[in-house]
Amino acid sequence: MNFKNVNLLNSRVNMLSGNLLPIAYDNSQFSIIWRTYSATVWLIQLTHTIALIFGIIMASKENGLKGSTHTILLTVEASFMLTRLYSRKKLMEEMIQKMNDILQNTDEIMKDIVKSAINPIIAPFIIYGVISVISIIIYHAKQPIVLVFEKFIFFYVNCNLPATFSTESFSSSAMISSTILKIVGTIYLFLKKFGMDMYMMHLVLMLTAQYRYTAIKLAILFRDLQIYNESRIEHYSKNRWTERELRKLCLHQNIVLNMSFILKKLLSVNFSLLYINNVLRFCFIGIILSTVSNNDVINLKEKIILKTYWCNLLPMTADNSSFPIFWKIYSILIWLLEILQTCVLIPGCFFVPKEKALKDGVIGIVVGMEVICTIIRIYSCRGQVQQLIKKLNDVLTVEDEIMRSTVIETIKSMESPLKFYWSAGVISTIAWSSEPFMLAFQRNSFFYVDYKMPVVYGKEPFTTSMFVFGSVIVMMSGVYIFTKKVAADSYIINMLLLITAQYKYIALKLSMIFQDKLLQNDHSKSDTDKCNLNRDDYAEKEIKILCRHHNTVIQIMLMLRRLLSLNISLIYVISVFRFCCISIMINSIPSETLWEVCSIIMYGISGVVQLYITCSCMQQLLDASVNITEYAFHGKWYQYGKNVKRTFMFMIMANSLEIKLYTKDMDFQSVNPLNVRLNALSGNLLPLKPGDSRFPITWKIYSALVWLIEVIQTIALIPGLILVPREKALKDGTVLCVITVEMFFMAARIHSRRQLVNQLIQKLNDILRFSDETMKNVVTMTLQPMENPLKFYWLSGWLGVFIWACLPFLYIFKEVSFFYEDYRMPAVFSKQPFSLDVFLLGSVLILIGNMYVFVKKVGMDVYMIHLVLLITAQYRYIAIKLAVIFRDGNSLSKFDESHQKYCSGIDRWVKKEMIALCRHHSNIVHLSSMLKKLLSLNFSMIYVNSVLRFCFISIMLSTVSKKLTLIIIFGMLANASFRRYYSYSIESFQTYFN
């Protein structure tokens, strides 16, 4: 095997797309024919891009935005990623060379593992490529083919993609040839992206296979050692053989680690770009879908009132004496201005038309609430903030140049993004709120609707001076509230970066300890022994100092988590909401002035930058906290004495560990009543106990009725999507389709693996029923944080669905005959038109069906989260028990150190407890593998459906009537809250599993 022939699809797509990325150590594998072909493809792409740029300029704004944004995004992504890969060609060749060296000397195990890693992605990639190419052909060819038979003269607006190949108007032959060029260009553009995706996935999977190979070989080595342990001589020779094989594996693992670092340098930026482009791509797809069936979508103007923080006067020192009286008075004046703005904004939303209030008031109120909640949270924890600052100051006052340079380097990395985030937001706020000043030169009397925000500063109509005064207050308030938000974000980010710097400092100091040059090569043997002794003493002393420093940083980290966890969650939820609103705002660009378009674009950019800064800082902190021993591990720690090596190995193990109340016997069913109730209420009847006799016949009949309702609703929904107008199907049917598919898929997946679920529950019950107080506390404290968020997710979502499905009942007082589109969702229960009785019966069925769909989905989500959290609790229990064993054993040995008999008894007790913990850990690892088989596809389904759901919700926000918008927002926030806590539960499990 080699890198090229283990995945022929990758090699073929690489050549077909014209990328010609390295697939061997040198480039001799590409003939002159393929190089000529690649140059031709690049020429086609260049022509296509130039035509696209001119087409965007020449076409109307609406047609240019709708037809070109997705293609521009794809072009930028392909160009950037290919340029990055070509610029790192030596790295790729080095990576391929190392991979080939491994693969060319493989055994059967390696071959099987590589094939099992590569084969599962072949079919999905083929489907992805074929469907995409077909959709490109249909999208670009459908409209021109129809028009060719209807017209003889064509214009740019007649094309789906605004690309200019000739001046308008143009003939049928020019139309056909330009369409062919667009199809060919877009297909090759997609093939380039497809080829890069395949190439990067191939690299990642090949490296993944090497880690799997190491794990399997280790297991085989020790299994064989146990089998051949027949005699002392054979045992001795087998030990030597095992030691030799282990050395080979260590060398192999070192090569794989080196390859991992190369891959990180090579692909880290590309994967980040993939993530950002996927978010933007789905937003643009949402825009395209929203314009398919509704060309007159409600135009929601941008709310660049990103309300943020300045003069927050958040604690900067450990006492309250840091701010002079001048700044305190100034802060009071700023807060008075914000209170005044809020007081005139709320009545303004009632006095102006509903459309104006929805467009220019709702987002302002939401962002203002975000600002207030974040500030109040920090002020309410002022004592904790001051303690945290005091500990940070104690750490930072150490006179160490390494500490100083590490902190400065870490802080400066975010300085420019924060400045850009603040500048872009302030400029966009000023640009958005200064537009009404133009009206002062055109009129003499003004009304509430003339303000940029719905505010009330007096009875309408009012004079020019009053209008200008109110507009100035709106502008100043918008700028100050945005600056307040930036200041609060900067305050939080500064704390995160300071703690990140401490972890980096520990990692750097630890690596420097093992690079000490006390031992010189020209010393005599006695001098060498003396230097070794001095070096070990020095290393042991420095490591102890670092351990104390690390303990302090962990305490600061725990304080920071209590302080900022809610704020980070709020940022996540608001960011999801903001990006959905941005997609709607982009949809309204064609009807706006250039001034407002610029403010919308700058607002969107500032939102992306804010999310990038927050995610980047969190990721830096996570990476730094788990990698404090990474650099030192590659040093010469193994040349030191036993004490130093033992201490360092304990540090490596402790770096993987982290650090709750039940009064009766526990099992899977009793530890979470919410899971039990939702499981019964939804009719899912997922297993709660091992065996099939746990649910009475009453609940089984109830479950059958609920499933019957869902089947009837699904059968009525499918023809409804076909028979109602496309706008109705897109607006009211897509989200329900997504949730229904997710619900049926996950329920079928769990029920089809009922035996596996029963085994999993049986093993969990065996563990929980023989638990000690530590186990009870850990399980309870792991489950409790999820209880309130899950209740909120269920109740708020259920209420939103109920109100949404009840609105059609208002039609019974207005109409006598009814049609399919009068139902809340597209459904067919009889021929239209139909009577009031049929309409009421159908609406009741839809109401009940929608509520049960949502409750079933919540029930399955809670069930899966319950499984994940219970296994997470077991890993936490092992970590705590390990710490307790060594703590108690150490204290007892000190108490009885004069009695050798007692000390040996303590050693036996510790050994016994460790053996019991090892068995427990083996059981948990087995449970984790079972859980992975059971839920891996469900988790992937949840992720994909969440992306689709938010896209469809953004479409609903841009198309539904104004009365429903707040209900949709409420339901969206409930779903976003669930996604945040769902992700938290999965991350907790992954942390302890690793």
pLDDT digits (tens, 9 = 90+) for 755-783: 888 888 888 888 887 767 788 888 888 88
Nearest 10 degrees: CA dihedral of 505, 506, 510, 511? -40
Average pLDDT rounded to a whole number, residues 344-368: 69
H or E stretch covering 2: none
H or E stretch covering 149: none
More confident position, 605 or 62? 605
| Whole-number pLDDT of residue 902 | 46
pLDDT over 60 (residue 722)? yes
Please, which pLDDT band fits residue 5 given cuts at 50, 70 and 90? confident
* Per-residue DSSP letter, 451: S
In percent, how much of the chain has pLDDT > 70? 73
Most confident listed range (327-336, 486-495, 742-751, 870-879):
870-879
165-179, 208-222, 399-413, 473-487: range with lowest mean pLDDT: 165-179
* Per-residue DSSP letter, 301: P
The interaxial angle of helices 525-587 and 362-380, nearest 10 deg, is 150
Of 513, 507, 487, the C-alpha closest to 549 is: 507
pLDDT over 70 (residue 987)? no
| Whole-number pLDDT of residue 167 | 66
Prior bond of 789 cis (ω within 30°): no
pLDDT over 60 (residue 716)? yes
Please, which pLDDT band fits residue 844 given cuts at 50, 70 and 90? confident
Of 673, 669, 699, 696, the C-alpha closest to 684 is: 699
Please, which pLDDT band fits residue 471 given cuts at 50, 70 and 90? confident
Please, which pLDDT band fits residue 237 given cuts at 50, 70 and 90? low
In three-state secondary structure terms, 446 is: strand
pLDDT over 50 (residue 294)? no
pLDDT over 50 (residue 544)? yes
More confident position, 347 or 981? 347
Of 96, 93, 99, 125, the C-alpha closest to 114 is: 99
DSSP string computed for 696-722: -HHHHHHHHHHHHHHHHHHHHHHHHHH
Please, which pLDDT band fits residue 78 given cuts at 50, 70 and 90? confident
315-329, 517-531, 622-636: range with lowest mean pLDDT: 517-531
Spatial separation of the C-alpha atoms in residues 837 and 207, rounded to whole Å: 64
Spatial separation of the C-alpha atoms in residues 984 and 181, rounded to whole Å: 48
More confident position, 983 or 237? 237
Prior bond of 324 cis (ω within 30°): no
| Whole-number pLDDT of residue 973 | 45
Is 600:302 a contact under the CB 8 Å cutoff? yes
CA 958 to chain centroid: 24
pLDDT over 80 (residue 652)? no
H or E stretch covering 808: none
| Whole-number pLDDT of residue 642 | 72
Spatial separation of the C-alpha atoms in residues 569 and 220, rounded to whole Å: 45
582-600 pLDDT tens trace: 655 555 555 566 667 777 6
| Whole-number pLDDT of residue 159 | 67
Q: In this structure, what token pair is assigned to residue 757?
A: 């679920």
| Whole-number pLDDT of residue 29 | 65
Classify the C-alpha dihedral 772-776-777-782 as positive or negative: positive
266-283 pLDDT tens trace: 888 877 777 777 766 666
| Whole-number pLDDT of residue 962 | 43
Q: In this structure, what token pair is assigned to residue 46?
A: 């260049």
Average pLDDT rounded to a whole number, residues 859-883: 89
pLDDT over 50 (residue 232)? no
Residue 446 sits at φ, ψ, to 5 deg, of -135, 160
| Whole-number pLDDT of residue 523 | 42
DSSP string computed for 573-589: HHHHHHHHHHHHHHHTG
More confident position, 396 or 880? 880
In three-state secondary structure terms, 887 is: helix
CA 568 to chain centroid: 13
Spatial separation of the C-alpha atoms in residues 413 and 616, rounded to whole Å: 10
pLDDT over 50 (residue 522)? no
Average pLDDT rounded to a whole number, residues 663-688: 79
Spatial separation of the C-alpha atoms in residues 989 and 868, rounded to whole Å: 6
More confident position, 235 or 715? 715
Is 820:650 a contact under the CB 8 Å cutoff? no
Most confident listed range (329-333, 566-570, 745-749, 945-949):
745-749
Please, which pLDDT band fits residue 315 given cuts at 50, 70 and 90? low
CA dist list (Å): 27 to 6, 15, 24, 35, 889: 18, 12, 7, 11, 62
147-156, 510-519, 673-682, 732-741: range with lowest mean pLDDT: 510-519
How buried is 616 (Cβ within 10 angstroms: 0-12 exposed, 13-18 middle, 19+ buried)? middle
Give the number of residues written for the chain.
994
| Whole-number pLDDT of residue 625 | 75
Residue 818 sits at φ, ψ, to 5 deg, of -130, 160
CA dist list (Å): 509 to 349, 461, 920: 58, 70, 36
Residue 454 sits at φ, ψ, to 5 deg, of -75, 90
Spatial separation of the C-alpha atoms in residues 284 and 73, rounded to whole Å: 9
Spatial separation of the C-alpha atoms in residues 637 and 770, rounded to whole Å: 42
The Cα angle at residue 613 between residues 611 and 615, in degrees rounded to 5? 65
Largest CA distance in the chain: 108
Q: In this structure, what token pair is assigned to residue 992?
A: 């302890």
DSSP string computed for 351-390: HS-HHHHHHHTHHHHHHHHHHHHHHHHHHHTHHHHHHHHH
* Per-residue DSSP letter, 960: S
Is 530:598 a contact under the CB 8 Å cutoff? no
The Cα angle at residue 287 between residues 285 and 291, in degrees rounded to 5? 115
- Average confidence score pLDDT of the chain: 75
Q: Which residues pair with 170 in a beta bridge?
A: 154
Strand residues in 507-574 grouped as ranges (E): none
Is 3:99 a contact under the CB 8 Å cutoff? yes
pLDDT over 80 (residue 978)? no
Q: What share of the chain is helix, strand, coil (3-state, %, to 5)?
A: 80, 0, 20
List of residues 6+ apart from 916 with CB closer than 8 A: none
| Whole-number pLDDT of residue 752 | 87
Average pLDDT rounded to a whole number, residues 288-315: 38
64-68, 257-261, 463-467: range with lowest mean pLDDT: 64-68
In three-state secondary structure terms, 170 is: strand
Is 262:924 a contact under the CB 8 Å cutoff? no
CA dist list (Å): 764 to 749, 779, 868, 913, 990: 20, 12, 12, 20, 18
| Whole-number pLDDT of residue 52 | 76
CA dist list (Å): 935 to 15, 689, 713: 37, 18, 27
More confident position, 209 or 513? 209
pLDDT over 60 (residue 787)? yes
Residue 22 sits at φ, ψ, to 5 deg, of -60, 130
Of 773, 781, 767, the C-alpha closest to 926 is: 767
Q: Which residues pair with 462 in a beta bridge?
A: 446
Please, which pLDDT band fits residue 898 given cuts at 50, 70 and 90? very low
Spatial separation of the C-alpha atoms in residues 300 and 589, rounded to whole Å: 9
170-179 pLDDT tens trace: 677 777 777 7
Of 978, 300, 342, 793, the C-alpha closest to 580 is: 300
* Per-residue DSSP letter, 29: T
More confident position, 565 or 35? 35
Q: Is the pTM of the predicted complex or chain greater than 0.75?
A: no
CA dist list (Å): 979 to 179, 965, 972, 992: 42, 21, 10, 20
789-822 pLDDT tens trace: 888 888 888 888 888 888 887 777 777 788 888 8
pLDDT over 70 (residue 353)? yes
Prior bond of 38 cis (ω within 30°): no
The Cα angle at residue 739 between residues 735 and 744, in degrees rounded to 5? 150
Spatial separation of the C-alpha atoms in residues 196 and 214, rounded to whole Å: 28
Q: In this structure, what token pair is assigned to residue 797?
A: 């979502």
